[in-house]
Amino acid sequence: MTQFTPLASTFGGTLIGAAAVIWMLFNGRISGISGILGSLLPPYANASFAEAAAFILGLVGAPLLWMVLTARPIQQSVSTNVILMATAGLLVGIGTIYGYGCTSGHGVCGLARLSYRSLVATLIFMATGFATVFVTRHVIGG
């Protein structure tokens, strides 16, 4: 069962929002993670490669730093079913392409800008997430 963590979630959400504002302040761009990650790969690689790489390394490194500073393991549960995870990743990637953005771009930055397109995209992301959790917990049994 998923734990209710309002303080940690609020703190985490505040950090995500602050990171989005800082990225916009210094780069003039929305901090859509899929776009930033995509900018590291050909043919999209651009002049801000170092900044994008630092951003992605920060996303990966932050939990590791937390683990070192607190001497506590990271508590994250994901499926060990490789086929399920690969399929999920592929579907997220396809959704990101067809949705012209990801949850961070639409859900964090787009909603803050009162974008109607981002509202619709975020509602679709959330509905899909709810359906996925229901199916994996109650139908598949994962």
Q: Can you list the alpha helix ranges (DSSP code H) found in 1-142?
A: 6-27, 33-38, 49-70, 82-98, 111-112, 116-134
Q: Which of 17-26, 31-40, 43-52 shows the lowest mean pLDDT across its residues?
A: 43-52
Q: Is residue 7 pLDDT above 60, yes or no?
A: yes
pLDDT in tens, 56-75: 898 889 889 989 999 988 87
Pick from 26, 8, 70, 30: which is nearest to 38 by CA? 30
Residue keyed to tokens 């901090």: 31
Please state the pTM of the whole predicted model: 0.69
SS3 track for 5-39: CHHHHHHHHHHHHHHHHHHHHHHCCCCCHHHHHHC
pLDDT at 96: 83
Average pLDDT over residues 106-135: 89
Q: What is the mean pLDDT of residues 109-131?
A: 90
Cα–Cα dist 83/6, whole Å: 32
Q: What is the CA radius of gyration of the chain?
A: 17
* Pairwise CA distance, residues 47 & 28, whole Å: 14
Of residues 76 and 21, the one with the higher pLDDT is: 21
Look at residue 116 in the predicted model and tell me its pLDDT. Answer: 94
Q: How many CB atoms lie within 10 A of CB 75?
A: 6
Q: Which of 10-19, 87-96, 132-141 has the highest mean pLDDT?
A: 10-19
For the chain, what are the domain ranges?
Answer: 6-139
